[in-house]
A and B are shown apart, each in its own frame.
Chain A
Amino acid sequence: MKLTVWTYEGPPHVGAMRVATAMKGLHFVLHAPQGDTYADLLFTMIERRNHRPPVSYTTFQARDLGADTATLFKTSCQDAVDRFQPEAIIVGASCTAELIQDDPAGLAETMGINIPVIPLELPSYSRKENFGADETFYQIVKALAKPQERTARVTCNILGPTALGFRARDDVEELTGLLSEMGVDVNVVAPLNATPSDIACLPAAHFNVLLSPETGEAAARWLEKNHEQPYTKIVPIGVGATRDFIAEVAAITGLPCKPDESRLRMPWWSRSVDSTYLTGKRVFIFGDGTHVAAHARIARDEMGFEVVGIGCYNREMARPIRALAKEYGVDALISDDYLEVEAAIEKLSPEMILGTQMERHIGKRLGIPCAVISAPVHVQDFPARYSPQVGFEGANVIFDTLIHPLVMGLEEHLLTMFRDDFEFHDDAGPSHHGGKAKAKVEVEEPPQPVDDNVIWLSDAEKELKKIPFFVRGKARRNTETFALEKGLHEISLDTLYEAKAHYAR
């Protein structure tokens, strides 16, 4: 038993729903009690989908238990097949149905349904949403993909994008364009917008592009093993990763891949002098493993930030994220407990967070700007405009996303120069965000004793408050560390400036 307030991932059957809802001509019969239908609103509200997810819930109630929930399942299954006439159905159980052990797979098999019936094992008490999506897609591919000849032209499949994916819609479009410039046609995109007959055609492609490892890796591995289709290991998020991805595709296909870079503005935007203020900004990165890995590279190599911590909530990606953390010289935080993530952020006091909607709220509480880079998603993560993360346009979009929450260059200087201005001060927040500026309130706080009995004397404490909020945490920590190293028990104004000189760069 584990107490949870907020979760990064839903249960595995929600992952299965993400695959079913992404596809066309497929129906999901889910053995589940009433109430589990809440999951429909994730798709119709958060993603603004204009269709109900293709899911039939058996909706059993207490009085059905011990009576005949199995018949209820069979009736729902038959009704779904008759009413929606899908090309194939997937069948599974939610957490409660798993406990009553009706065996939806076995029941569906005995019904003589004349379309493919794909049973799912979705262990609700040990696994989560991403596993559910990955496993469901893998089972569908395994059941439906047919051996066949390769296409005459060089083609690939794009694997992994699902419903409720982080910018999946636009990533598919951007990636398709990029591949086309390289002379590679897309055979099938799956699961997003694929039909069961499209899935059957997957083996016609020469290779696979794995866009979302979280939800497509099991299928990609199976296709590699059983249909000799290599798959790409690099997710093209960021300038460097996109160029590496192009080289990877060139190596797989033997094509001279030289896509047009004229739309790529990002490297210049980062090099231009206005971006100087980004240098060395301390960032904490948290989300799903794929986006975190991509953003660690973007943050350090393309934005010039200092990465002070990275982590992911999906345990499946623990190993690569730990390895990456080692390379960056930081500790990896592998956790789906948001209180633990909050504690880590509070301790590191970064100047910026690249995270999920959860970290956005943590940032709001701690007064740290946050850019959202990963699922779990919110209605805001489905913008009306074209807003991919992958490829060259994705790199442009990410540059904008990462600087938007920050106080901009000259504004930052002005805040530093005129620290005591009553209107234009830290608590007012970045001026391009709107909202009513708060008037400055002077509060006299006694110096706070910190760990190991280092005491802030009052002028040092007062001076510390004049330092803009976005660097104050760092200044406080540096000064305290400096004092401890020098064996000082009190921090005076001089200690503060000695520490500043010590850490100058």
Chain B
Amino acid sequence: MNVPLPPTNGGCRSAPILKERGQREVFCGLTGIIWLHRKMQDAFFLVVGSRTCAHLLQSAAGVMIFAEPRFGTAILEEQDLAGMKDAHEELDREVARLLARRPDIRQLFLVGSCPSEVIKIDLARAAERLSQVHAPHVRVLNYSGSGIETTFTEGEDACLASMVPVLKDTTARELLVVGALPDVVEDQMLGLLAEMGIGPVRLLPARRIDDTTAVGPNTVFALTQPFLGETHAALERRGARHLQAPFPFGDEGTTAWLRVIATEFGVSEETFEAVTAAPRARARKAIAQASEALRGKSVFFFPDSQLEIPLARFLTRECGMTAIEVGSPYVHDALHGPDLDLLPAGPQIAEGQDVDKQLDRARAARPDLTVCGLGLANPLEAEGLSTKWAIELVFTPVHFYEQAGDLAGLFSRPLRRKAVLQLEAAE
């Protein structure tokens, strides 16, 4: 019961993957700062980069967050490049100034960018040095969010991976849940796990530095986001064991994800049913309503966040859609395998991008719904294709039971809107 059945025509795990290299219409990893700085309330993200990096953060935030954001860019200038100034001294000065103005900051992330990587500013060394200067009040870590190394959500992955080596050791048998979730969703998840008697549950990232997240050989961890490949590897290096599961999107994904954890912690079938029955029923009802406009429609995913495969699984199995192409920046078998198993065979699975060729395929297929980035959405709408901005899927609470209906609603809204608008003359 309740174990999702693989599709009768086979899944997509062994399907050939179309690998493309060309122009990629994606964000770089710096973009993750937009949500990470809200999630970690005592952290500041200092990008060491160019004016382009600052402009990206400002533009990607869409609306500027003027309540003094907990991120900023140390913009490299000509003198820094010409070696007329010591970049490390400059950085020390800017960090000291920043921390003096923001005494509430307890963790500082030095975030590498394309320019800082190319001119090889050693931010690991800088982080070590600055940690010594500002300890114990502030912990300084570093990671790269550069576009030459990271694609969009990989920035969060790099950030979380940078935190793994400094997590305290523990031998406790504990569950660690990994991935930045909106607080309300995180609380729902913790509630479900607590009702099953699983706890204490540790979180990465924790909301504040003083929290008690630790890791060790008896730690088991579950991922809530499908883009945490590096963090996954870093945790395994610390001896923790990954609980492989489909990602908790929709009724089926959430149930499967919880079941893997419940089985690991010996939760009885009765308890599991008792805890999940009511929210499952609510999720099903909400999905049924919200997915009415989606049934029988086709969907085409451009690569964006690595959420594409789990979401395609949700849309095809729970909302009655057909997937034509599912593009993802990267496909990791260890992370995406369980979702690929469940995704009915048929769609082209694509990794990487050559955007003009992919646009040609989308135009030829004329999907009912195209999931793509902000740079492509209006141009495709102008060609008569309905689109869903992919970035909204990362910025909206969409995980677990209570959000399953909202998730379906995000996809159905563009189609419902198209149906309600009557802009032509009456006759």
Residues of A within 8 A of B (CB): 1-7, 9-11, 13-14, 33-42, 44-45, 48-52, 56-62, 64-65, 76, 79, 83, 94-96, 99-100, 123-126, 128, 357-358, 361-362, 364-365
Contacts and interface: CB of A to CB of B under 8 A. Distances in A.
Contact of B90 (A1, A49, A364, A365): A1
B427 interface: no
A97 B312 CA distance: 36
Interface stretch (B170-178, B188-196, B251-259, B370-378): B370-378
Contact of B376 (A3, A52, A99): A52
10 contacts: A3-B72, A5-B71, A5-B73, A6-B54, A34-B26, A34-B28, A35-B114, A51-B379, A64-B148, A79-B356
Contacts of A58: 23
B375 A35 contact: no
Given A5-B68, A35-B28, A45-B374, 8 more contacts: A2-B74, A3-B46, A11-B51, A11-B52, A38-B56, A40-B375, A59-B24, A96-B148
B51 A124 contact: yes
Contacts of A95: 50-52, 114-115
Contacts of B81: 99, 125
B375 to A, nearest CB: 3
B382 interface: yes
Contacts of B97: 3
Contacts of A6: 54, 58, 64, 66
Given A3-B97, A44-B375, A34 B52 contact: no
Contacts of B98: 3
Nearest to A51: B379
B75 interface: yes
Nearest to A83: B356
B264 interface: no
Most chain A CB within 10 A, of B46, B54, B148, B149, is at B148
A3 B59 contact: no
B374 A126 contact: no
A128 B80 CA distance: 17
Contacts of A128: 51
Give chain B's interface residue range (CB within 8 Å of chain A): 35 or more
A14 B53 CA distance: 12
A211 to B, nearest CB: 25
A76 B23 CA distance: 8
Contacts of B146: 33, 35, 62
A81 to B, nearest CB: 13
A183 B98 CA distance: 59
A153 B255 CA distance: 77
B364 interface: no
B78 interface: yes
A490 B212 CA distance: 53
Contacts of A364: 66
Contacts of A42: 59
Contact of B76 (A1, A13, A41): A1
B340 interface: no
B66 A1 contact: no
Interface in B32-66: 46, 48, 50-52, 54-56, 58-60, 62, 64, 66
A343 to B, nearest CB: 13
- Ranked nearest first, the 4 interchain pairs of A and B with the lowest CB-CB distance are A35-B28, A35-B147, A40-B375, A50-B382
Contact of B118 (A99, A361, A362): A99
Given A44-B375, A59-B23, A10 B50 contact: no
Contacts of B50: 11, 95-96, 124-125
B51 A33 contact: no
B394 to A, nearest CB: 14
A1 B74 contact: yes
A479 B378 CA distance: 55
Contacts of B373: 41
Nearest to A338: B66
A31 B98 CA distance: 33
Given A1-B90, A35-B26, A35-B114, A124 B52 contact: yes
A56 B24 CA distance: 10
Given A49-B378, A100-B118, A125 B26 contact: no
A37 B81 CA distance: 24
Interface in B103-162: 114-115, 117-119, 146-149, 151
B269 to A, nearest CB: 47
B364 to A, nearest CB: 16
A474 B90 CA distance: 40
Nearest to B62: A45
Most chain B CB within 10 A, of A36, A42, A76, A94, is at A36
Contacts of A48: 378
Contacts of B151: 34-35
Given A37-B25, A59-B22, A95-B52, A52 B74 contact: no
A101 to B, nearest CB: 10
B132 to A, nearest CB: 20
Given A3-B74, A34-B28, A125-B76, A41 B118 contact: no
Contact of A5 (B69, B78, B87, B376): B69
Most chain A CB within 10 A, of B52, B91, B373, is at B52
Nearest to B378: A44
B416 interface: no
Interface string B377-419: 1110110000000000000000000000000000000000000
B30 interface: yes
B23 A57 contact: yes
Contacts of B69: 5
B77 interface: yes
B109 to A, nearest CB: 15
